[in-house]
């Protein structure tokens, strides 16, 4: 999550839906964090490190007899205070590949229209096959482009 306020809001939402947040946190079946240092190298987002961390977390969840792993990440948070989105397309397309290779893994990439540059929103709009609408509905993304292009520059960003 991108802030402590977002962690608190999600915790409240989960509690309102009947989740015993304190119990799930203590069992580590739920992890809520604003920590980004494990995602970066030299202060910049590290795609390889992030994907390795997701694979490790999935392996751990499966070893602990969970059916899979759900994760959510705020793009502004993941790409840090420098807001260096130069590797965003590479990361998102590799993440899509990770989804296909690991069907026990699901994630929600958060793109906040009020805080991110338009080119970043455009990148988010083309990199995922599905768009989350609400708790009960995801729809095919009409803007999805497969990973033939690997840089923002090649897409005129």
pLDDT of residue 68: 93
CA distances from 147 to 2, 78, 90, 97, 150 (A): 27, 21, 8, 9, 6
- Using alpha carbons only, give the angle 93, 100, 107 rounded to the nearest 5 degrees: 70
β-pair partners for 138: 132
pLDDT of residue 148: 58
pTM: 0.75
pLDDT of residue 57: 92
C-alpha to C-alpha distance for 50 and 109, rounded to whole angstroms: 13
Per residue in 103-144, pLDDT (tens digit) is: 999 888 888 788 888 888 888 888 888 877 777 778 888 888
Mean per-residue pLDDT over the chain, rounded: 81
Mean pLDDT of all residues in 142-154: 64
Radius of gyration of the chain (CA): 16
Of 115, 153, 145, 152, nearest to 3 (Cα)?
Answer: 115
H or E element in which residue 10 lies:
helix 4-16
Mean pLDDT of all residues in 19-43: 80
- The answer to whether 82 and 125 have CB atoms below 8 angstroms apart is no
pLDDT of residue 150: 46
pLDDT of residue 14: 87
Per residue in 61-91, pLDDT (tens digit) is: 999 999 999 988 887 766 666 777 777 888 8
């Amino acid at each position: 999550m991108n802030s402590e306020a977002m962690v608190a809001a999600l915790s409240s939402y989960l509690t309102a839906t009947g989740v015993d947040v304190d119990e799930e946190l203590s069992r580590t079946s739920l992890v809520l964090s604003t920590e980004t240092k494990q995602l970066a190298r030299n202060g910049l987002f590290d795609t390889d490190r992030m994907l390795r961390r997701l694979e490790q977390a999935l392996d751990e969840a499966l070893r602990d007899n969970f059916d899979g792993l759900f994760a959510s990440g705020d793009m502004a948070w993941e790409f840090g205070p420098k807001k260096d989105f130069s590797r965003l397309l590479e990361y998102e397309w590799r993440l899509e590949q990770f989804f296909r290779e690991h069907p026990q893994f699901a994630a929600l990439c958060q793109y906040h229209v009020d805080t991110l540059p338009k080119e970043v929103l455009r990148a988010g709009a083309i990199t995922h096959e599905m768009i989350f609408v609400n708790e009960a509905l995801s729809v095919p993304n009409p803007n999805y482009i497969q990973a033939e292009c690997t840089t923002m520059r090649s897409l005129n960003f």
